[in-house]
Amino acid sequence: MNEIETLFLDEYKRVDAICRDLFRGDRYYRTDGQELFGVSAYLAAMNEVPYARRARFDSWDVEYDRIKRLRDLRNSITHDIAASACSYDDLESLEAFHRQLVGATDPYAAYCRAQREAERQKTAAAQTASVYYEVHCPESTVSPPCQGTPAPKKTGNRLLFALLVGVGAGLAVFLAILIATLVFR
């Protein structure tokens, strides 16, 4: 094992430990049922993000392929007898991924941030709508959006309102006729 491979493995251990901490409690499995940890769990989490959502991030696929290649390189160094193709560029790429993880600027962290922000905006919109309906429509039979069950119908109030509108309209017509007869006499 040469010096670059040793440095690479030392850096990979640090990155893998961070990924283990990030996904502690979250379970990811290979297709054969074996549980995944560390960088492999990170890759599995990235892979579970629906395509429509990952497409919002420009470099998602590039980053995924880079991280997967680094993991495969680590496996090659530790399991293969032949010399690996590990280079300083690979070490720098792994160090860059380490900095991204520590700074929470990695692709999966960006996705999680976007998801939390979308959820926060959705909650804020639902609260705003709820307050609007409570203030402006206290007798409304329409339920605020995102609240599930509609408000109970208040048929008595509707009937009273319709009656008042009808009486008001009839009174308006009566007054219009009375005024017209008095003016044009």
Length of the chain, in residues: 185
pLDDT of res. 147: 47
pLDDT confidence tier of residue 139, bands split at 50, 70 and 90: low
pLDDT of res. 58: 86
pLDDT of res. 136: 56
Amino acid sitting at position 120: R
Q: Characterize the bridge pairing of strands 35-36 and 28-29.
A: antiparallel
CB within 8 Å of 2: residues ≥ 6 apart: 83, 86
- Per-residue pLDDT tens for 27-65? 777 778 888 889 999 999 999 899 888 888 888 999 999
Which of 11, 59, 48 has the alpha carbon at shortest distance from 26? 48
Is 67 buried (19+), middle (13-18) or exposed (0-12) by CB count in 10 A?
A: buried
Q: What is the domain partition of the chain in residue ranges? A: 3-112, 154-185
